[in-house]
Amino acid sequence: MKKVIFKTEHLSKSFSSGGTLQHVLKNIDLELYQGDFTVIMGASGAGKSTLLYALSGMDTPSLGTITFGGQDISGLSQDGLSVFRREHCGFVFQQIYLVDSMSVMDNVLAAGFLVGRDRKRIVQRAKELFGAVGIPEETQRKFPAQISGGEAQRVGIVRALINSPEILFADEPTGALNSKTGLDVLDTLTKFNEEGQSVVMVTHDMRSARRGNRILYLKDGAILGECHLGRYVHGDAKRHKMLSAFLTEMGW
C-alpha cells in the first residue's frame, strides 16, 4: 500500500475577473502517493498550475480541503503556509531565479541555511546533490551569469532539494530549455524519483509526461481521467503507446 501524501476533497478555486466568477478548479477529489512521479497534463488554461499552487500552499482554495500527511493545510495562515512550503516542498519552475551576486554554491546553501538545520550537513548535502546532477566544483564556484540555461535548471533542482523536501513540485521544468538540456533535466528528475523522491510535475509535453508513473489529465478544472504507466524504463515503446492511447482518449 502506498502512503498518501496529499489528499484533496472538493477542492475548488475561482477567480473573479471583470465582475464574473471564473471556476478554474471544480470539486477535485484526489489522492497523491509517496514515491510517485505524478504528472499533471492538460491543455493550456486547464488549471494545471492552479492545482499545483493549491497543493503546494502557494495559493489557497476557494472551497474544499487539502491535507498533507494527514494535516489540513487549507486553513493555514499565510505564515503557516510559508513554513509548510519551506519545510516540506521543493519547487522547480520554467525559469529558475538565482541571485546574481552569489555563486552557484552560495545560492544553494542560502536556501539550506534558511531552514536552519546543521550547517555542516547542509554543505554535505549540497555537494552530494551537485554530484548527482553532474555540476562540478568549478561550476559551483561560478556566478549565475556564467552558466548555461540547462546548468541553471539543474542548480534549481539542487536548490529545490537541499532541505530534503517530502515533495518536489515542478511546473513545466523543461519549457524554456532546448531538447538536449531538457532531456538532462528529465533524467535528473527521474533519477531522484528512482531514489524515492516524490515528484509532482505539470507539463503539456508528452516526452516529459512519459517520465511519470501516474498521469492525471485535467480538463476545464476537473480530472477527466488517469493512466498508470509503471516505473519509467528508457526507450520503452509500449509505455509510449499506452500514453498516446490515453491522451487520444482524453481528446489531447
- Interaction between residue 49 and Mg ion (CB under 5 A): yes
Number of residues that bind Mg ion (CB under 5 A): 1
Q: Which residues bind ligand ADP (CB under 6 A)?
A: 15, 17, 24, 42, 44-50
CA separation for the pair 156, 5 (Å, rounded): 23
Tell me the β-bridge partners of 160.
none
Binding marks (x or -) toward Mg ion, 95..114, rule CB under 5 A? Answer: --------------------
- The alpha carbon of 56 is separated from its chain's Cα centroid by a whole number of angstroms, namely 9
**Pick from Mg ion, ligand ADP, none: which does 152 bind, CB < 5 to 8 A by kind?**
none
CA separation for the pair 125, 110 (Å, rounded): 13
Q: Closer CB to ligand ADP, residue 117 or residue 219?
A: 219
Contact 45, 37 (CB under 8 A): no
CA separation for the pair 178, 27 (Å, rounded): 36
Q: Specify the DSSP element, H or E, that contains 246.
A: helix 237-249
Q: Closer CB to Mg ion, residue 162 or residue 186?
A: 186
- Interaction between residue 203 and Mg ion (CB under 5 A): no
**Pick from Mg ion, ligand ADP, none: which does 197 bind, CB < 5 to 8 A by kind?**
none
- The alpha carbon of 83 is separated from its chain's Cα centroid by a whole number of angstroms, namely 18
**Pick from ligand ADP, Mg ion, none: which does 42 bind, CB < 5 to 8 A by kind?**
ligand ADP
Instruction: Name the site residues for Mg ion (rule: CB under 5 A).
Output: 49
